[in-house]
Amino acid sequence: MASDYKYKEPSNVALNKGHKHTDDFITRKYVLPLLTNPEKLRQLIEEHRANPVGTAPAKGKPVNQHSQELQTVLDKLRRQGMAGKYVTVCAKLHEDYRIAICSGVRGKPLEFLDETYSSEEAAEHAIFLKRINDLLNYYKE
């Protein structure tokens, strides 16, 4: 016996609404309070500038981890899909680093921004600042 029930297309599962709503809740509850407090934002930016990529333990040196608050912000910034994502590209080893934007389509070339950076860390910090600015603009009420 055939059912008369029809699923709406695209379904909420196909639209990934569960994840989007959860991500929005986490952002509003845990991330935005850190980024909208000017003193806390300044501290997070300084901490990231000092150590943008973290360090792994090596030969007796302990791991250098980010604070829990910075890790919370970084986790949010990394949850983005590939479309529109900023990436660091090494144009010339140890000399020239660029920021590019992913299209989200496999095989489609990256869109390069004009700025160049002398180190991977400087490029990563610039991406961090761009993503925070994008996030604050998105949630501006």
List, for residues 81-110, the tens digit of each pLDDT value.
889 999 999 999 888 999 999 999 999 999
pLDDT of residue 108: 94
The confidence score (pLDDT) of residue 72 equals: 95
- 23 domain residue, yes or no: yes
Residue 7 has pLDDT above 90, yes or no: no
Query: What Rg do the C-alpha atoms of the chain give, in angstroms?
Result: 19
Tell me, yes or no, whether 104 lies in a domain: yes
Quote the pTM value.
0.82
Domain that holds residue 122: 80-141
Which residue would you say has higher pLDDT here, 120 or 13? 120
Same domain, residue pair 135 and 88? yes
Domains of the chain: total: 2
Instruction: Name the average pLDDT for the chain.
Output: 88
Indicate if the alpha-carbon torsion angle 46, 49, 67, 89 is positive or negative.
Answer: positive
